[in-house]
Amino acid sequence: MTSPKTEIYFATRKAASAHVYIIKGTGRVRINNVPAEMIVHESAREAILAPLDIAGDARKKVDISVRVKGGGFMGQAGASATGISRALIGWTKSRREPRNHPLTKTAREDLRKRIGDFDKYLISGDARRKEPKKFGGPGARRRKQKSYR
């Protein structure tokens, strides 16, 4: 008997980074090897489980394990939620019809649409992240120059 294929997805939020492992299973969700139901902060728990609440019935057909580090607890919750939604979206995509996928093709398309309609930032990332420095622009230690008029 072969072991089911594990897929890995990555997400960040502020200073937190999350690696999400998704596999065909029974509906277990673990964050840093702790069941999601045992997370102390209720607001963080709700943020993490939001994509799974949207998934509905598909939640019971996958096991999700999240490894998250860095940042505060809400940054970690945001990174975990983004990673879980990306994992669910990626897990439902396929170039051809897989034989042993637990969801039908129409159910996978419906799940992708529901997550995309709920929050576009869960899939693509946070639009508020910092814009990279432009080439030729002022540096971090720009000094004020006196005007010689």
Asked whether residue 137 is domain-assigned, the answer is no
- Alpha-carbon torsion (35, 38, 118, 11), positive or negative: negative
Range of the domain at 66: 7-124
> What is the pTM (predicted TM-score) of this model?
0.75
Query: Tens digit of pLDDT for each residue in 55-67?
Result: 888 888 889 999 9
In this predicted structure, the answer to whether residue 68 has a pLDDT above a threshold of 90 is yes
Region class of 84: left (phi > 0), else alpha (psi between -120 and 50), else beta? alpha
* Rounded-to-integer distance, Cα 84 and Cα 76, Å: 12
In a domain, 35, yes or no: yes
Question: What is each CA distance from 39 to 30, 54, 58, 72, in whole angstroms?
Answer: 10, 20, 22, 14
Q: How many domains does the chain have?
A: 1
Answer yes or no: is 93 within a domain. yes
Flag whether 30 is in a domain: yes
Mean pLDDT of 104-108: 78
74 against 112, higher pLDDT = 74
**CATH number, residue 97:** 3.30.230.10
Residue 1 has a pLDDT of 45
In a domain, 142, yes or no: no
